[in-house]
Amino acid sequence: MKEKIIENGIEYVRNGDYYIPNLTVPDDKVYNIGKYGRLHAKFIKENRPCFYS
Full DSSP string of 29-43: -----HHHHHHHHHH
Provide the pLDDT for residue 31. Answer: 77
Instruction: State pLDDT tens for residues 2-40.
Output: 888 888 889 999 999 999 999 887 777 777 889 999 999
Provide the pLDDT for residue 18. Answer: 93
44 contacts 53 by C-beta, under 8 angstroms = no
Q: For the chain, which residues make up each domain, given as ranges?
A: 4-52
Provide the pLDDT for residue 47. Answer: 95
Predicted structure pTM score: 0.45
